[in-house]
Amino acid sequence: MPYQPRWRWTNLDSNKNIIIMVIISITVAAIVVAAAFFISNSSTTLVPGSSLQSKLKQDQTANQSAYHKAPVNANITITNSLMANDTLVISSQALSILPKTGVYVPLYIYPTSPYWDAVINAKLAHPSVPIVVTINPSSGVGSSKHSDYVNGVNRLKSAGIVVLGYVYTKYGARSVSSIESEITAYKNWYNVDGIMLDEMSARIGHEQYYKNLTAYAKAMGMKFVKGNPGRDVPQSYIGTVDNISIYENADMHGRLNLPGWYSNFDKRNFSFIIYGASRLHTNLVASAMHDVGLMYITNGLPPNPYDTIPPYFEDLVAALDVKEKFK
């Protein structure tokens, strides 16, 4: 608050105008300070439930509050292309996994489902398109090894698909030891290629937490770590993981507005998910392939939009089966 001089009140009647002016000045100053405080904190305020993949099992109902129901706009486009000044922050291993824009699939479905076959067949039909999937045996790795998942993961990897294991982080509040235990189990039981850290924080101050988890996964021999805050993050989060899901929602109101600072980084640092899309929006795919390294569009709906594969899944993969140039 600006400095306010002390006034000597000797005669309130004769100084009525001065009193009014002082009161107005104090009120205005208080409003300015409060507004400045709100603005300075709004960009990093965590939105509860913004990560919509939170702890979904292939046969369980997700928390209804995590989903934001809204109609899907049929003419979705992406603005603010990220083609300029691509700064490499991602690892060389991640670069080898994403030589071009690919498809990400939250494969929260039991391995004997024909949906796994659909993903494998799409990859075999378009081998140059990267496909990264996340498995989720039991809101995480579970308490024991399952042979169906062993066989399923082997089939995915044999087709050239990158397999990640689901681990939730509770927005930076879950103990590191618990997460490391799950990472170790994923590696030992299923030999996954990497980890997907769900419920990723977007608050400044948790960056080292995610850097440490990424380092642990890489030390275990894993190649790729994906984070899912499901929303915009502070710039300081770039490099804490290999890829960040910056959008996860149903309705984009005709466009996806990405903050301008994203253009300073390689597009492979970013990904998005759209659910509830009754059809594939090819204009969106064509635009987004210049802006992100991974994308997923599905017709799946809450309470679990990830218990199915969209009928247009191979069309999505085929739409990305084009040559790309990176700066």
CA distances to 41, 59, 99, 322 from 325, rounded to whole Å, are 38, 41, 10, 10
Please provide the CATH number assigned to the domain covering 64-319. Answer: 3.20.20.70
pLDDT in tens, 66-100: 332 222 233 333 333 333 334 445 677 778 899 99
- Residue 69 pLDDT: 26
How far is residue 269's CA from residue 291's CA, in Å, rounded to a whole number? 10
What's the pLDDT at 56? 53
As a whole number of angstroms, the distance between CA 146 and CA 228 comes to: 25
Ranges of each domain in the chain: 1-42, 64-319
* Rounded distance between C-alpha atoms, residue 21 and residue 19, angstroms: 5
The pLDDT tens digits for 134-167 are 999 999 999 999 999 999 999 999 999 999 999 9
| Ordered alpha helix ranges (H), the chain | 16-42, 92-97, 114-125, 147-158, 176-190, 207-219, 282-288, 313-319
State pTM to two decimals: 0.76
**pLDDT tens-digit readout, 247-260:** 998 856 546 666 66
Give every residue of the chain whose pLDDT is below 70, as ranges.
1-90, 251-260, 325-327
Q: Please give the pLDDT value at position 287.
A: 87
**pLDDT for 324:** 77
Contacts of 277 (CB under 8 A, 6+ apart): 72, 250, 297, 298, 299, 310
Provide the residue type at 121 as one letter. N
Predicted pLDDT at 206: 98
